[in-house]
Amino acid sequence: MQKLGSAPSRRKPSADRIAGAVAAALLVSADFTAIADEGSLRPYTIVRGSIPASLTGAAGDPARGRAIVLDRRLGACLLCHTGPFPEERFQGTLAPDLSGAGSRWSEGQLRLRLVDAPRLNPDTIMPPYYRVDGLTRVGSVWREKPILTAEQIEDVVAFLSTLRD
Ligand code: HEC
């Protein structure tokens, strides 16, 4: 707090950083909204840090999953991640490289990470892709919809599983 009559303090750089982060978050959530077309979530069971069963009961399509990962509006994974995508010039620097993710993690671990990353790490910046609560920044039209559909989650899981070292 600033005392009355004292010299006005200069704006702290941290305030700028916070404002920037909020703007970025809003931008990100705007990017993350206009996407899923599924009204309700399929139930799933978490077993020891993983969701072992497919959300749809079927295996996903790795080629479609790759397209979702690269799509700047759909998965937008490359806002944060790098990966084995030589055709992509701009890749993120905020998260681990996705190369080898299929060797490091089981399919079920990858599925839980995508569905609800904050459940594994409450401080993560990775958004929950298959959750509808807690998305307070999105417009009311989108609050009932996950970022990705169950089918899209399965496609991305199938693709990540192919990323072996
Ligand atoms: C806003 C940033 C951000 C976005 C967008 C994002 N992630 Fe992440 N992701 C992270 C961070 C940070 C981690 C590191 C672990 C943590 O924070 O919990 C991570 C971890 C992971 C991991 C585990 C990496 C490892 O091997 O240790 C995988 C797999 C992953 N993300 C996949 C994805 C996919 C697929 C997408 C897109 C559908 C995506 N992420 C979108 C930030 C992001």
Looking from the CA of residue 120, the nearest atom of ligand 1 is 18
Q: What is the pLDDT of residue 161?
A: 98
pLDDT of residue 33 exceeding 70: no
| pLDDT tens digits, one per residue of 47-65 | 999 999 999 999 999 999 9
Ligand 1 centroid to residue 110 C-alpha, Å? 10
Q: How far is CA 79 from CA 74, 107, 122, 154, 158, in A?
A: 11, 23, 20, 21, 21
pTM of the model: 0.79
Q: What is the pLDDT of residue 37?
A: 40
- Structural domains of the chain, with CATH: 13-161 (1.10.760.10)
Ligand 1 centroid to residue 1 C-alpha, Å? 38
Q: Are 129 and 160 in contact (CB under 8 A)?
A: no
Mean pLDDT (the chain, rounded):
81
Q: How far apart are CA 106 and CA 163, in angstroms?
A: 11
Residue nearest to atom 17 of ligand 1 (CA): 124
